[in-house]
A and B are shown apart, each in its own frame.
Chain A
Amino acid sequence: MSELLYSEVENDLRASVRDLLSDRSPWTAVLARTETDQPYDLALWRTLATELGLAGLLVPEELGGAGASAREVAVVLEELGRAVAPVPFLGSAVLATSALLAAGDAELLPELAAGNRTATLGVTYTTAPNAVFPASVHVHNGRLTGRIGSVVDLDVAEFVVVPAVGAAGPELHVVEVSSARVTPVVPLDLTRRISHLELDGVSGRLLATGDAAEQALRSALTTGAGLLAAEQLGLAQWCLDSTVDYAKTRYQFGRQIGSFQAIKHRLADLWAATSSALATSRAAASALATGEDVGVSVAVAAAYCSDVAVLAAEEALQLHGGIGMTWEHPVHLYLGRAKSSQLALGSPERHRAALATLIDLPA
């Protein structure tokens, strides 16, 4: 049975990330940034990547990374989710990095690990790990042409890892974003941006072909889905904590509203769901770290934590009453993130369908 508790090192890592985020990215700053032309906090991203060395957690030391595992990345994502921090960690340090690692890249990874460059994975953000290899981009004479809708963190990426179909089948390329057309989408989630990517005869650097390309993409999406669960967990915990605090300070009918069973029972259920989300997320991170039981652990965590995050954000809004419905309160940032993340990297339903095959419960 995998280790489901946090180690001391992981707790220290959490504390340093939380300190930085509470100092540099309070929700007031996140909210203020949403309607500017710089929705991402790139200065914060630089600090996370270079000073704390978090961009290279998954990258081996010989490529300039920290040689850590998915367990540490999960802890970072819990904190980023808790703060709905507007940084491209998921796209660059998780999705693109995992794809490059699986494809055996040694050129871009050191740059990503060092925080010199930012990248993302060129798939539609809703793509599930077991999806068929995307065929919307084609390769002719080494040049890529096609369109990929709704790519996460593309706005601030300098490189994008693109799955494409060549003469001999699946290929994976690294493309410079400056050579492509990027069209931002007005997002439901104000703290994480998506954009459409259009390639018109763009040259790329070939990373992998055939089975290797398919496997690298699947590996990146699996890692992404399993670790997104950690971000969803952190988001759910913030929603629970802030709502519990509010229920203790808000008075109606001469009592703290948290003394009414109509409120406290909902919060007790949410705490129980969040505790279970934590267990599934830890199991997925441990599975990704050890390579054991990855398929089932990731599918369970992704299916479970997606829904718990949405539940937590919706409960937070309802139990805050009118104030939760206002723009000036942060709960809508969490609701948008939670609902978008539910669709991301495979909806709960897609993960359950994947599970059906893995655990032999066919339709």
Chain B
Amino acid sequence: MTDLAAKVEAFLAEHPPAGADPIEFLRARFDAGLAWVHFPVGAGGLGAPRAAQFAVDEAFAAAGAPEAVPAAKVIGYGMAAPTILTFGTPEQHERFLRPLFTGEEVWCQLFSEPGAGSDLATLATRAVRDGDDWVVDGQKVWTSFAHAARWAILVARTDPTVPKHQGLSYFICDMNDAGVQVRPLRQITGEAEFNEVFLNAVRVPDAHRLGAVGEGWKVAQTTLMNERVAIGAHAAPREGGLIGVAARTWREHPELRTPGLHDRLLRLWVQAEALRLTSERLRQGLAVGQPGPEGSAAKLAFATINQAVSGFEVELQGEQGLAYEDWTMRRPLETDWASRDPGFRYLRTKGNSIEGGTSEILRNIIAERVLGLPREPRSDADVAWKDLPR
């Protein structure tokens, strides 16, 4: 048994998961350095290799240990925590990481804007220094969990007179501030998983800045790299994704089968299995070092296969494929895609090639950072942001 496995075992013996108060259990897990073992001691970790985390998570899951609410994980665990760890001060580590891990404080991400999607660096939300604070004005969009979040990671423009990448700074924004207004953003499924967030004279203390003034782009890169890895590097069992749902339908409904659909299903199954193995290989490779651009490939393939499988599923349904379960506007904090109907999956997966980096942007990233191909010529690199055409 490794030292780490022994530590987990000792922890579980001292804190039996059965009947434990979830928050108290997670606080103790954080304090023991078993939250994310690759973080340093005192920040929820033990300074262990990144890869060791998988075994620790598995051991806790196998023991039936309490976990934070799902809404805490996507942005908080996947993006905010590694960014705070990399760029935060000791005071910021102390204040934010523990309640983030326990899920007492949910996080959201204030990056995209109506005028800044793929070209995130052109964003227009302004932060102006006022004494010890910054005053923030602007509009953000596609914000998951904004209506449940206590904190947000925020990128805003602190200097419009320099080229777009240089004038950004990165902040931690209090979602309870009176100037923050959250409105649901209804999407093509009928639901509103996301929000629009309006920021009117929101005050952010300078102590809540991550990284230097003007270095917001560099900080945001850390967040975005982790976003793609969070999506792409998750180990899954065979038939673990949407293909499993399609395969179950196929097995349970012989009356829906046709020869043409059969070959398509098998092609999709092979493609899904290839993606699963690719992600598994990426996961094994993460044993050393930081997430690389390879995560972009997994995300790209994930979007393609999800869209193909869900389109297949609607066709497989035949007459039932004409129906849609429910257009009621809801604001879910988590969505179990497998329990929804194929029509919902068909519509929702259309977002997979847009959210978290469009497939086109991901192809650029792969081409430039993995293959070393030259960039497209850029007309905006040396122009002050305020002078860019828009």
* Chain A interface (Cβ < 8 Å from any Cβ of B): 1, 3-5, 244, 247-248, 255-256, 258-261, 263-265, 267-269, 271-272, 275-280, 282-283, 296, 300, 303-304, 349, 352-353, 355-356, 359-363
Pairwise interchain contact B257-A363, C-beta atoms closer than 8 A = yes
Q: Looking across the interface, which residue of chain A has its beta carbon closest to that of B375?
A: A259
Pairwise interchain contact B266-A352, C-beta atoms closer than 8 A = yes
> B153 an interface residue at 8 Å Cβ cutoff?
no
Pairwise interchain contact B284-A4, C-beta atoms closer than 8 A = yes
How far apart sit A282 and B278, CA to CA, in the bound complex (Å)?
Answer: 10
Pairwise interchain contact A349-B367, C-beta atoms closer than 8 A = no
Pairwise interchain contact A267-B371, C-beta atoms closer than 8 A = yes
Pairwise interchain contact A265-B274, C-beta atoms closer than 8 A = no
Pairwise interchain contact B265-A361, C-beta atoms closer than 8 A = yes
> B366 an interface residue at 8 Å Cβ cutoff?
yes
> Known: A276-B275, A361-B266. Contact between A271 and B373, CB under 8 A?
no
A–B Cβ pairs within 8 angstroms, 26 of them: A1-B280, A4-B277, A5-B281, A5-B285, A244-B373, A247-B373, A248-B373, A259-B374, A264-B368, A264-B371, A265-B364, A267-B373, A268-B370, A275-B278, A275-B294, A276-B274, A278-B281, A279-B277, A279-B280, A280-B274, A300-B273, A300-B277, A304-B271, A349-B263, A361-B266, A363-B262
Pairwise interchain contact A363-B363, C-beta atoms closer than 8 A = no
- Contact residues in B for A356 (Cβ distance below 8 Å): 262, 266
> B247 an interface residue at 8 Å Cβ cutoff?
yes
7 closest A-B pairs by beta carbon, nearest first, are A264-B367, A279-B277, A268-B363, A268-B366, A258-B373, A4-B281, A352-B266
> B250 an interface residue at 8 Å Cβ cutoff?
yes
Pairwise interchain contact B366-A272, C-beta atoms closer than 8 A = yes
Pairwise interchain contact B270-A303, C-beta atoms closer than 8 A = yes
How far apart sit A255 and B263, CA to CA, in the bound complex (Å)?
Answer: 43
> B32 an interface residue at 8 Å Cβ cutoff?
no
Q: Which of A258, A260, A355 contacts B266 (CB 8 A)?
A: A355
> Known: A265-B360, A278-B281, A355-B269. Contact between A248 and B251, CB under 8 A?
no
How far apart sit A346 and B251, CA to CA, in the bound complex (Å)?
Answer: 26
How far apart sit A359 and B362, CA to CA, in the bound complex (Å)?
Answer: 33
How far apart sit A4 and B257, CA to CA, in the bound complex (Å)?
Answer: 35
Q: Is the interface of B mostly helix, strand, loop or mixed?
A: helix
Q: Which of A256, A258, A275, A296 has the most CB of B within 10 A?
A: A275
> Known: A300-B273, A355-B270, A363-B257. Contact between A272 and B300, CB under 8 A?
yes
> B386 an interface residue at 8 Å Cβ cutoff?
no
- Contact residues in A for B377 (Cβ distance below 8 Å): 255, 259
Pairwise interchain contact B297-A272, C-beta atoms closer than 8 A = yes
- Contact residues in B for A361 (Cβ distance below 8 Å): 247, 250-251, 262, 265-266, 269
How far apart sit A179 and B278, CA to CA, in the bound complex (Å)?
Answer: 48
Pairwise interchain contact B270-A300, C-beta atoms closer than 8 A = yes
> B28 an interface residue at 8 Å Cβ cutoff?
no
> B372 an interface residue at 8 Å Cβ cutoff?
yes
> B26 an interface residue at 8 Å Cβ cutoff?
no
> B23 an interface residue at 8 Å Cβ cutoff?
no
- Contact residues in B for A1 (Cβ distance below 8 Å): 235, 280
How far apart sit A260 and B259, CA to CA, in the bound complex (Å)?
Answer: 40
> B267 an interface residue at 8 Å Cβ cutoff?
yes
Q: Which of A244, A279, A352 contacts B278 (CB 8 A)?
A: A279
Pairwise interchain contact B374-A271, C-beta atoms closer than 8 A = no
A101 to chain B, nearest CB (A): 27
B273 to chain A, nearest CB (A): 5
> B75 an interface residue at 8 Å Cβ cutoff?
no
> B376 an interface residue at 8 Å Cβ cutoff?
yes
**16 further contact pairs, Cβ within 8 A, besides A244-B371, A261-B376:** A1-B235, A248-B373, A259-B374, A260-B376, A268-B363, A269-B300, A269-B363, A275-B281, A276-B274, A280-B273, A300-B274, A352-B266, A356-B262, A356-B266, A361-B247, A361-B251
Q: Which of B267, B277, B363, B371 contacts A276 (CB 8 A)?
A: B277
- Contact residues in A for B257 (Cβ distance below 8 Å): 362-363
Q: Which of A265, A277, A355 contacts B363 (CB 8 A)?
A: A265
> B301 an interface residue at 8 Å Cβ cutoff?
yes
- Contact residues in B for A278 (Cβ distance below 8 Å): 278, 281
How far apart sit A219 and B90, CA to CA, in the bound complex (Å)?
Answer: 60
Q: Which of A4, A260, A263 contacts B280 (CB 8 A)?
A: A4
Q: Looking across the interface, which residue of chain B has its beta carbon closest to that of A265?
A: B363
Residue-wise interface mask of B (351-370) relative to A, using a CB-CB cutoff of 8 A (1 in contact, 0 not):
00000000010111011101
Residue-wise interface mask of B (241-280) relative to A, using a CB-CB cutoff of 8 A (1 in contact, 0 not):
0000001001100000101001101110111011101101
How far apart sit A359 and B363, CA to CA, in the bound complex (Å)?
Answer: 33
B169 to chain A, nearest CB (A): 31
Q: Looking across the interface, which residue of chain B has its beta carbon closest to that of A4?
A: B281
- Contact residues in B for A362 (Cβ distance below 8 Å): 257
Pairwise interchain contact A244-B277, C-beta atoms closer than 8 A = no
Residue-wise interface mask of B (320-338) relative to A, using a CB-CB cutoff of 8 A (1 in contact, 0 not):
0000000000000000000
Pairwise interchain contact B278-A271, C-beta atoms closer than 8 A = no
Q: Looking across the interface, which residue of chain A has its beta carbon closest to that of B273?
A: A300
- Contact residues in A for B277 (Cβ distance below 8 Å): 4, 276, 279-280, 282-283, 300
Pairwise interchain contact B297-A275, C-beta atoms closer than 8 A = yes
Q: Which of A283, A300, A363 contacts B259 (CB 8 A)?
A: A363
How far apart sit A355 and B284, CA to CA, in the bound complex (Å)?
Answer: 26
How far apart sit A260 and B373, CA to CA, in the bound complex (Å)?
Answer: 9
- Contact residues in B for A355 (Cβ distance below 8 Å): 266, 269-270
How far apart sit A279 and B265, CA to CA, in the bound complex (Å)?
Answer: 21
B119 to chain A, nearest CB (A): 14
- Contact residues in B for A267 (Cβ distance below 8 Å): 367, 371, 373
Pairwise interchain contact A282-B281, C-beta atoms closer than 8 A = yes
Pairwise interchain contact B274-A279, C-beta atoms closer than 8 A = yes
Pairwise interchain contact A5-B367, C-beta atoms closer than 8 A = no
- Contact residues in A for B274 (Cβ distance below 8 Å): 276-277, 279-280, 300, 304
How far apart sit A303 and B235, CA to CA, in the bound complex (Å)?
Answer: 23
How far apart sit A119 and B376, CA to CA, in the bound complex (Å)?
Answer: 53
How far apart sit A145 and B47, CA to CA, in the bound complex (Å)?
Answer: 70
Q: Which of B265, B275, B300, B364 contacts A264 (CB 8 A)?
A: B364
> Known: A276-B301, A300-B270, A360-B251. Contact between A264 and B363, CB under 8 A?
yes
